[in-house]
Amino acid sequence: MKNRTVVITGSARGLGFEMAKCFRKKNFNVVISDINKKDIEHAKGELLKIKSNGDILALVCDITKEKDIINLIEKTKNKFGIIDFWINNAGVNQPDKLIWECSSEEIKKMIEIDLIGTMVASKYIMEEMINQNYGAIYTVEGHGSNDAIIPGLSIYGTAKRGVTYFVSSLAKEAEKSGKDIIVGKLSPGIMITDFLVNSFRNNKMELSNKNKKIYNILGDYPWVVAKFLVNKMISNTNNNVRITWLTKRKAIWKFLSYKFRKDKKIK
Ligand X SMILES: NC(=O)c1ccc[n+]([C@@H]2O[C@H](COP(=O)([O-])OP(=O)(O)OC[C@H]3O[C@@H](n4cnc5c(N)ncnc54)[C@H](O)[C@@H]3O)[C@@H](O)[C@H]2O)c1
Q: Which residues in this chain contact ligand X in the complex, by CB under 6 A?
A: 9-10, 12-16, 34-35, 61-64, 89-92, 113, 140, 142, 188, 190-191, 193-196, 222
Cα–Cα distances (Å) from 266 to 102, 189, 212, 257, in that order, read 28, 16, 6, 17
C-beta nearest to ligand X: residue: 14
d(CA 127, CA 137): 12
Task: State in angstroms the smallest separation of the CB of 35 from ligand X.
Answer: 5
H or E element in which residue 38 lies: helix 37-48
103: which residues sit within 8 A by CB, 6+ positions away? none
Nearest distance from C-beta of residue 178 to ligand X, angstroms:
30
Report the first-to-last Cα separation within the chain, whole angstroms.
47
Phi, psi of 23 (to 5 degrees): -65, -40
Q: Which is nearer to ligand X, 51 or 220 (CB)?
A: 220
Q: Smallest distance from the beta carbon of 100 to ligand X, in angstroms?
A: 23
Q: What is the closest distance, in whole angstroms, from the C-beta atom of residue 261 to ligand X in the complex?
A: 18
Taking the least distance from each CB to ligand X, the nearer of 179 and 250 is: 250
The distance of closest approach from Cβ of residue 11 to ligand X in the complex, given in angstroms and rounded to an integer, is 7
Provide the CA 8 distance to its chain's centre, in angstroms: 8
* Cβ-based nearer residue to ligand X, 62 or 84: 62
C-alpha dihedral (217, 223, 224, 228), degrees to nearest 10: 130
Minimum gap (Å) between residue 112 Cβ and ligand X: 8
- Least separation in angstroms between residue 117's CB and ligand X is 6
CA distance linking residue 77 with residue 75, whole number of Å: 5
Residue (117 or 135) nearer to ligand X, CB: 117
What phi, psi does 60 have (nearest 5°)? -75, 130
Query: Which residues make Cβ contacts (< 8 Å) with residue 114, sequence separation at least 6?
Result: 91, 92, 142, 155, 156, 159, 160, 163
CB burial class (10 A; 0-12, 13-18, 19+) of residue 218? middle
